[in-house]
Amino acid sequence: MKKFILFNSPIFWDATKEKEQYLSPLGLGYIATYLEKAGIDVTIVDCVKERKSVNDIVDFINKTHTDYIGINIFTQNYEMVKYIIESITITCDCFIGGQVVKSIYLDILRWNTQNRLNIIIGEGEFIIPALVSGRCKQIPEQENDQKVVYRVNKNSEYFPKDISNIFLNRKYLGNEIIYNHYGEKEIAIITSRGCAFDCAFCGGAKSLNKDITTRIRTEESVITEIREILSAYPDIQSIRVLDDLFLRNGKSIDMTNNIFLKFPHLSWRGMVHVLSLAKDVEKVKKLRRGRCRELFIGIESGSESVRRKINKLGTIDDIITVSKAILESGIDLKGYFIYGFPGETKEDFQKTYELASKIKEISTNTTGTFRTRACLKNKSCTKHIFPRPFS
């Protein structure tokens, strides 16, 4: 039987005890599931969870006997993954994938590799088993020496059109249970793929992914998966929904309540877009009845001019109104902010800091908590976030 090892790539060069936020590599789990269906002996090595250094991974690969390896890549670990692939001395076919590959595949084509390197743009759970079994009908989009590019878009026969029927064998994720910051045992799921919004800084933006469609799982398929999770892990207390955008509109909010009201002992956490609630903040109360514990909002900037430049929909007033409604409903809120957009000024930074401080102030009088790592006690961001002189 052919052997395939999938690596959840490291985010540090050296082994570290950094307490970074851990998320299960669900994408690799789907690929492993369908490799198994194709009769391949498959294993996932989670380099993040196991805190493996880059050299640990290279040594592991070169001492093992495997026919194939696959690894994901992100913007921040490009050089690490490149080093790993170029340091492989055994003979094996390699696969590389991830959201960022669409933007960097021309660079990957120039890597110095001794093995065949299959560069996958798009979702890999159908095309990778087809390539391994020698049954792939799709012609590579580009080739350079032993490096080949396959693009899985909506026109590819290997594009997962109906994600409600895609199964995840969670055994490949090992002990995937984490303790969230409430101390609850939590497992993650994905209920959709793609995003309808077009934020300028995001690789998942709609305009960058015109060749794929946004797909949403049915209510029934999500309920079935949660039941399977509870069957395997009866003591699970929380579900984390990892979709790029879970609560995208009013319909998705109603569907979410229908799902989680069937599991009265579970809480849940997930992403919401401010516009999903801005026109009907009363829907927040429904989320609380469905035992929503925490919502995440990509706020990014408190500067209206920066928000326009990055195509971030929703006004500052919308953010404050929705944040207040969430917190007053007893749901906790986590905001994501970005500093350092091209052309951003000290004044823009200050507006972002003031918006975060405003939301924090609102939360002092609500049952919901605004979760921040920074203390937000100073009036000036340059005294707290930028203690050194700003230029």
pLDDT at 390 over 50: no
Q: Can you tell me which residue has the tokens 């993954």?
A: 81
Q: Under CATH, to which class is 3-152 assigned?
A: alpha beta
pLDDT tens for 6-63 read 999 999 999 877 666 789 999 999 999 999 999 999 999 999 999 999 999 999 999 9
pLDDT tens for 99-134 read 999 999 999 999 999 999 999 999 999 999 999 999
Predicted local distance difference test score (pLDDT) of residue 22: 84
**Residue spans per domain, the chain:** 3-152, 177-384
C-alpha angle 319-325-329 in degrees, rounded to nearest 5: 145
Q: How many Cα atoms are found within 13 Å in the side-chain-facing hemisphere of 270? A: 31
pLDDT tens for 275-286 read 989 988 888 988
pLDDT at 386 over 60: no
Q: Can you tell me which residue has the tokens 């999903």?
A: 276
**β-pair type (147-152, 117-122):** parallel
Whether the pTM exceeds 0.75: the reply is yes
Write down the CATH number for the domain with range 177-384: 3.20.20.70
Name 310's Cβ contacts closer than 8 Å, sequence gap at least 6.
199, 200, 201, 300, 301, 341
Report which of 85, 68, 221, 73 is spatially closest to residue 130, judged by C-alpha positions.
68
Check for a shared fold between 3-152 and 177-384: no
Burial 165-203, CB ≥16 within 10 A → b, else e = ebebebebbeebbbebeeebebbbbbbbbbbebbbeebe
Distance CA 134, CA 145 (A): 19
Burial 260-281, CB ≥16 within 10 A → b, else e = beebeebbbbbbbbbebbbeeb
Strands ordered across the beta sheet of 68-72: 41-46, 3-8, 68-72, 93-97, 117-122, 147-152, 142-144
pLDDT tens for 293-312 read 999 999 999 999 999 999 99
